[in-house]
Structure 1
Amino acid sequence: MDRLGLPEVTDKTITDRSALKDQLEEIRERGYAIDDEERVIGMRCVAAPICDENDRPIGAISVSGPTNRFDDDIFKAEIPKNVLSTANVIEVNMTYS
């Protein structure tokens, strides 16, 4: 950030350090991240980490789609639930397979 800053890509891009820090804290608390047209207008994404048995992130899983197919109800409830569930299944399979 010191070298490149937080350049605005869309009108929804986080460009303030403090706002980014707050957003990262929210992501840690809920366990997944969202991109609501922050990078590409008309696209939304939900992502969750895949962690090892020591709770260290070793990968991630995400789902992206156009806003006309990811309406608010699906984007804010259904997709995060499914992404977190899938990440959990992957973690369990890696640990116990």
Structure 2
Amino acid sequence: MASLGYGYYPTHPGEVLKDELEARGISQRKFADSIGMGYSVLNEILNGRRSMTTTSALIFEAALNVPADALMRLQLKYDMQTARKNTTLADRLKKIAQTAAVL
């Protein structure tokens, strides 16, 4: 994966936001209340168990001044790296490439 310009381990955008909240000394509960998001939803995003959406990225941008497009690029890279590690998908893609090569 290094040839793709990605790090070895994918970084979920929630990790960045979690670090940002910790650096600012803001509790997850207080932050969730301030942005009108359920605590469990915020916690799942921060811990990489829920994907970042464009709406949530824009909310985080407004609240923390972290660019929404940067968060979405992280999510895309995370999703791509995670998908590439899926062996079922890798096998399927290999078969498709073999089929396409003979067309």
Q: TM-score, normalised by structure 1?
A: 0.25
Larger radius of gyration: 2
Larger % of helix: which? 2
Structure with more strand by fraction: 1
